[in-house]
A and B are shown apart, each in its own frame.
Chain A
Amino acid sequence: MSTFPLLQPASPEAQAIFDLFIMVVLISLGIFVVVTGLIVIALWRGKAKSDTPKQEFGSSKSEIFWMTGPILILIWIFVITTKLILTTNAVPKIQPTDATHELELHVTGHQWWWEIQYGDSSIVGANEIHLPTGTKIRVKIESADVIHSFWIPQLARKMDAIPGHPNYIWLQATKEGVYEGRCAEYCGTQHTWMKFKVFVTSPEEYEKWKQEAIAAGKTTATQVAKTAPAAQDAASKNAKLSTKEAGRAIFMEEGCINCHALEGLSTPSIGPSLTRISDRAIIGAGVLKNSQENLGRWLKDPQKYKPGCKMPDFNLTDEQVKQLVTFLWSP
């Protein structure tokens, strides 16, 4: 993780913005030094005087003379700004139906997590994005509720996710690595914990990840399908269930299924998809690191870690939590 993500760009666009920023900072520093210098000199010269100084009322000539500098500087800044707006193509001008870029990301902001859909596969993830290096990817940004803002400081500009007003940006990472992203627009109680991670890998590794993710999704689906009748029979007979089957029963009966998608079982997206959750890096959009222990803690009392989040406390017993974690970790 970078200490100064805004100063460590890892994409052409972020680099261009960084260059503009440095230029404007240097210009500003120059102006600051000149202005404070003049003020300090004026104060220094006037500090010991006590007589009545010459009463000057100003002259239009000197006003105009002194303002030419600032005017030229502002024109300069305007030119480099406009150039960057136009040339980095920061606002993609292509139509959503344009099919020249096969990988399109579809990002939807929710209170308070990110839904990630990949245009080149059926993968639906949450709070993390996998990208190959090099490829220029169009990102469609939408919101399911209030206004959010999609921001990966090292990779791209921030762009608001506005309900009823889809936005598009380009995303192109040049360096492999893990990047931090987050919601940048205040969106309610848990705006704080609406982060995500971006994993940038080589195109080969990305392809590998994609195939594995698709396979894992399918496995989940078949597993879920396999355990389903058994679990229901067992439940009806009041027999002893395996831990995993019990977890599945809780998932169905406690209402998890009403908000969360699990491939082969359910599709809602009120909360993040739980397919392949063992693969994830974070829980609660950044509030906890993902592990079986932390997932258990979260399920035990989500409101403790993310007060005000949409997931209620289901008052699960330790045993139930264990069963649910086992089921979700590998269904």
Chain B
Amino acid sequence: MLQPDDLVDPSRRNLFSWVCSVDHKRIGIMYMLLAVFFLLVGGVEALLIRAQLAVPKNDLVSPQMFNQLFTLHGTTMVFLVGMPVFTGFSNFIVPLMIGAKDVAFPRLNAMSFWMLPFGAVLLYFSFFTGSAPDAGWFSYAPLSTKPFSSLPGVDYWIIGLAVMGIGSISGAINIVATVMCCRAPGMSMQRVPLFVWIMFMQAILIVITIPPLNSAISMLLIDRVLGAAFFEPARGGSALLWQHFFWMFGHPEVYVFALPAFAIVSEVIPVFSRKPIYGYAFVAGSSTIIVLLSYTVWAHHMFAVGLGMGPNIFFAAATLLIALPTGVKIFNWTATLWGGSIRFTTAMLFAIAFLIQFVVGGLTGIMFATVPVDWQLTDTYFVVAHFHYVLVGGIVFSLFAATYYWFPKISGRMLSERLGKLQFWLWLIGFNATFGIQHLLGLMGMPRRVYTYDDNPGWALCNGISSAGAVFMAAGTLVLVWNILKSIKSGAVAGDNPWEGFTLEWGTTSPPPLENFEELPEIKSRRPVWDADHPDLADWKTEKTPEDRGHRPAAAKVAAWSFVISEAIFFILLLVSYVVFNSGDEIEGPTAETALDVSRTGIFTFILLSSSLTFWIAERCLRKDKIGGFKLWLGLTILLGCVFIGGQVWEYSGLFSNGITVNRNLFASTFFTVTGFHGLHVTGGIIVLGIMFMLGRLGYLTSKRTHVFAAVGVYWHFVDVVWIAVFSIIYLDVFK
């Protein structure tokens, strides 16, 4: 079995030791390196886009190539830069900040990471098939369905995203479990640094926001490969359902990126103002509110689809509402700066630029929340400017702040401040030139996603400026890469705490040793390192925070519950699609009433549900160390599960022999999709139960080690609960 590797041992400092590593710091660094690599890839794609648009009627790239470029630029920046880079920082910094030795599940952590390059290869392999995806990163149906995108590019896009999604969810579950279960003594939940709290919120958000994407791409893949018609209106499907599912993922995804930016500046601004964050509870609480509200605003991406008055007004209100918790943060950061002793380091400069540019992006966001204005501005360059002010001017700038702030901790070396400031000014000028001018282009009526344009008055000039700005950003990026390489080779040694930081990561060496801390400082407040450095001004003397009561839940259970919540959302959306497509007037061909044998499936339902009971008895036996009873009842649980699957096979073969297959009509498509995915989950559960059975036989499970088995139980009972919903909706037709 792999053991956490040893950075100090020179024999393990080769490439192979990185591939095998389960150390959160090494995995964090690998996440960041992957993100940097794809930042360059996605950046080159952006440069090609800007080069094509630099002059009117340009023919540098073909229309097909242009469409592939903006599709891959969006997909790459979201899934291969935004997701990994913040997971990387989270991985590296969160365990240090809470005084943990590693994340809760180091091996799962390694798996989560390696899913990403795997998914990336799948996505980019599409180039070698001659058709990179070109339906946009949003892949709107029916453009993304087989009749309109017959080449395999979209299939690679789907499978790549599914693989990366698995990595993202498991990585996020790990962070959730780490924060809940691995905090050092004294570190109560109310004492974690804001970075930890907000990344905790972000991890929760990832857990609940990827499932809608998984539902959508599963259905699209079934359309494309098995001939279903979920998203093909010509065959009864719905073009809008894709948009609803996609944006239920897509909008919270924006906060998956915005929250880490908030987390970063909530550390950087206080340290370089030499003050604690103003209104900790408000910054933390507003982040939680953002997580809750982010699920209620998705349709503001769809104001132009003709939703009707009611939804338009509701989503306008929700979108305006979500501006408030963000406004609270802006106020608190400004209040933190107020009266502080400001140090204008590169990290601080990037954080300040973040603040102002994010305000610009937020204010144009409010313009889009006023629905009639959205009707005019959406899908123009004004919206391109808006979201790049949020994603680049806000989030990428915060990322650079994080890079300059934590690089000394990660590498043990300082980055050059001179080169850093050069990069800052290149980016500040380049970014605002590229995207500031795009507000004007939008008002000139220039639409998004066009590969060229007529030589209308002003268009050539504005596009020229926009493209020229991109060159500055590219140069700035090269300066950063040069700065990093130079610093690793010959940078000044950082020492433990070069910035006079407040939080625990600055209380250990740079880079930290394998198990992070030789000795933990005493944790009596939110700023333990500040307390240690300033005993007279220690926070706990003036600002009381709740004591740590020492409660740490079992990590396996936290992980199981997180996973189950994530899967529940996946199933809820599949069931929504079932209800949507089966509650209409008439479907041609088979329906639930005509095709299904309710009483027979009722018996198999009873069998599956009784397996929950046998599982419960097995768990009780294990608690009392009755291994014989444990094996008996667990064996019975497995048997009942297998009988249920047998029943499903029986049912499927009956349907197949009547010519009812997934591509027959929308009833069949939804039926097979829902029950098929449930069957897969039961099968997976049976495999895990089998592993548990073997572990019991080999004597690894005892009454003292029941929490893993209990975690499996959470999953197994969940699968039964899902089936109750499936049976009620499909077989008993409770919604009709």
A residues lining the B interface (CB < 8 Å): 1, 3-7, 14, 16-17, 20-21, 24-25, 28, 31-32, 35-36, 38-39, 42-43, 45-47, 49-60, 62-63, 66-67, 70-71, 74, 77-78, 80-82, 84-86, 88, 90-91, 111, 145-147, 149, 151, 153, 157-160, 162-165, 167-168, 180, 182-192, 286, 307-308
Q: Which among B176-184, B316-324, B679-687 touches the partner chain?
A: B316-324
Q: A57-B278, A185-B379, A186-B140 are in contact. Are A163 and B341 (CB under 8 A)?
A: no
Q: Mark B332-359, 1 if CB is under 8 A from A, else 0.
A: 1011011111101000000010011001
Q: A51-B341, A81-B316 are in contact. Are A158 and B324 (CB under 8 A)?
A: no
Q: A20-B373, A153-B376, A163-B239 are in contact. Are A42 and B338 (CB under 8 A)?
A: yes
Nearest CB of A to B57, in Å: 10
Sample of 18 more A-B contacts, CB < 8 Å, known A58-B279, A58-B335: A5-B445, A17-B373, A20-B373, A21-B367, A36-B359, A38-B338, A51-B341, A53-B274, A58-B278, A60-B282, A67-B328, A67-B331, A84-B370, A157-B304, A163-B234, A164-B239, A184-B447, A189-B67
Among A49, A63, A81, chain B packs the most CB atoms within 10 A around the CB of A81
Q: Judge whether B309 is part of the interface by a CB distance below 8 angstroms.
A: yes
Candidates B140, B304, B321, B366; contact of A158 at CB < 8 Å = B304
Contact A28 B364, beta carbon cutoff 8 Å: yes
CA distance A39 to B453 in the complex (A): 40
CA distance A146 to B149 in the complex (A): 11
Candidates A20, A60, A167, A188; contact of B306 at CB < 8 Å = A167
- From 529 to 578 in chain B, residues with beta carbon under 8 angstroms from any chain A beta carbon are 534, 537, 539, 542-543
CA distance A84 to B372 in the complex (A): 7
Nearest CB of B to A72, in Å: 11
Q: Judge whether B703 is part of the interface by a CB distance below 8 angstroms.
A: no
Contact B344 A47, beta carbon cutoff 8 Å: yes
Contact B370 A24, beta carbon cutoff 8 Å: yes
Which chain A residues border B130 with CB–CB below 8 Å?
Answer: none
Which chain B residues border A67 with CB–CB below 8 Å?
Answer: 324, 327-328, 331
Contact B240 A165, beta carbon cutoff 8 Å: yes
Contact B380 A184, beta carbon cutoff 8 Å: yes
Q: For the complex, would chain A's binding face be called helix, strand, loop or mixed by DSSP majority? A: mixed
Q: Judge whether B295 is part of the interface by a CB distance below 8 angstroms.
A: no
Q: Which residue of A lies closest to B278 (CB)?
A: A58
CA distance A78 to B373 in the complex (A): 12
Q: Which residue of B lies closest to A2 (CB)?
A: B445
CA distance A159 to B275 in the complex (A): 50
Q: Judge whether B375 is part of the interface by a CB distance below 8 angstroms.
A: yes
CA distance A39 to B380 in the complex (A): 31
Contact B309 A308, beta carbon cutoff 8 Å: no
- From 297 to 335 in chain B, residues with beta carbon under 8 angstroms from any chain A beta carbon are 304-306, 308-309, 312-313, 316-317, 320-321, 323-324, 327-328, 330-332, 334-335
Q: Judge whether B64 is part of the interface by a CB distance below 8 angstroms.
A: yes
CA distance A159 to B278 in the complex (A): 45
Q: A42-B334, A74-B321 are in contact. Are A56 and B276 (CB under 8 A)?
A: yes
Contact A160 B370, beta carbon cutoff 8 Å: no
Contact B331 A82, beta carbon cutoff 8 Å: no
Among B62, B306, B321, B451, chain A packs the most CB atoms within 10 A around the CB of B306
Chain B interface size, as a band, is 35 or more
Which chain A residues border B537 with CB–CB below 8 Å?
Answer: 52, 55
Q: Which residue of A lies closest to B330 (CB)?
A: A35
Contact A3 B359, beta carbon cutoff 8 Å: no
Which chain A residues border B338 with CB–CB below 8 Å?
Answer: 38, 42, 45-46
Q: Judge whether B430 is part of the interface by a CB distance below 8 angstroms.
A: no
Contact A77 B377, beta carbon cutoff 8 Å: no
Contact B341 A50, beta carbon cutoff 8 Å: yes
Contact A6 B376, beta carbon cutoff 8 Å: yes
Candidates B62, B134, B273, B327; contact of A70 at CB < 8 Å = B327
CA distance A42 to B334 in the complex (A): 7
Contact A46 B306, beta carbon cutoff 8 Å: no
CA distance A58 to B280 in the complex (A): 8
CA distance A62 to B448 in the complex (A): 42
Which chain B residues border A186 with CB–CB below 8 Å?
Answer: 67, 136, 140, 143, 379, 448-449
Q: A3-B458, A53-B339 are in contact. Are A180 and B445 (CB under 8 A)?
A: yes
Contact B64 A162, beta carbon cutoff 8 Å: no
CA distance A191 to B316 in the complex (A): 28
Q: Judge whether B233 is part of the interface by a CB distance below 8 angstroms.
A: yes
CA distance A267 to B111 in the complex (A): 59
Contact A77 B304, beta carbon cutoff 8 Å: no
Which chain B residues border A183 with CB–CB below 8 Å?
Answer: 447
A-B pairs, top 7 by smallest CB distance, nearest first, are: A164-B233, A58-B279, A157-B375, A46-B342, A49-B341, A167-B306, A42-B337
Which chain B residues border A42 with CB–CB below 8 Å?
Answer: 334, 337-340, 342
Which chain B residues border A192 with CB–CB below 8 Å?
Answer: 63, 450-453
CA distance A43 to B451 in the complex (A): 43
CA distance A59 to B280 in the complex (A): 10
Among B143, B234, B277, B330, chain A packs the most CB atoms within 10 A around the CB of B143
Which chain B residues border A146 with CB–CB below 8 Å?
Answer: 140, 142-143, 148
Nearest CB of A to B592, in Å: 23
7 examples of A-B residue contacts, CB within 8 angstroms: A6-B377, A57-B543, A157-B372, A163-B142, A186-B449, A192-B451, A286-B454
CA distance A55 to B341 in the complex (A): 11
Q: A35-B334, A49-B341, A182-B447 are in contact. Are A3 and B456 (CB under 8 A)?
A: yes
CA distance A24 to B457 in the complex (A): 27
Q: A165-B233, A186-B143 are in contact. Are A191 and B379 (CB under 8 A)?
A: no
Q: Which residue of A lies closest to B539 (CB)?
A: A55
Nearest CB of B to A139, in Å: 12
Which chain B residues border A90 with CB–CB below 8 Å?
Answer: 372, 375
CA distance A209 to B238 in the complex (A): 39
- From 101 to 146 in chain B, residues with beta carbon under 8 angstroms from any chain A beta carbon are 134, 136, 140, 142-143
Nearest CB of A to B708, in Å: 41
Which chain B residues border A180 with CB–CB below 8 Å?
Answer: 445
Nearest CB of B to A134, in Å: 22
Q: Judge whether B639 is part of the interface by a CB distance below 8 angstroms.
A: no
Which chain B residues border A85 with CB–CB below 8 Å?
Answer: 309, 312-313, 316, 371-372
CA distance A227 to B357 in the complex (A): 67
Q: Which residue of A lies closest to B340 (CB)?
A: A46
Q: A81-B371, A82-B316, A192-B450 are in contact. Are A38 and B334 (CB under 8 A)?
A: yes
Nearest CB of B to A169, in Å: 9
CA distance A53 to B449 in the complex (A): 50
Contact B457 A3, beta carbon cutoff 8 Å: yes
Which chain A residues border B313 with CB–CB below 8 Å?
Answer: 82, 85
Which chain A residues border B323 with CB–CB below 8 Å?
Answer: 70, 74
CA distance A35 to B337 in the complex (A): 12
Nearest CB of B to A285, in Å: 12
Which chain A residues border B442 with CB–CB below 8 Å?
Answer: 6
Q: Mark B364-391, 1 if CB is under 8 A from A, else 0.
A: 1011011111011111100000000000
CA distance A84 to B360 in the complex (A): 24
Candidates A6, A53, A59, A162; contact of B273 at CB < 8 Å = A53
Which chain B residues border A6 with CB–CB below 8 Å?
Answer: 376-377, 380, 442-445
Nearest CB of B to A114, in Å: 15
Nearest CB of A to B347, in Å: 15
Q: Which residue of B lies closest to A81 (CB)?
A: B370
CA distance A46 to B341 in the complex (A): 5
CA distance A165 to B282 in the complex (A): 44
CA distance A63 to B327 in the complex (A): 11
Which chain B residues border A163 with CB–CB below 8 Å?
Answer: 142, 233-234, 239
Q: Judge whether B363 is part of the interface by a CB distance below 8 angstroms.
A: yes
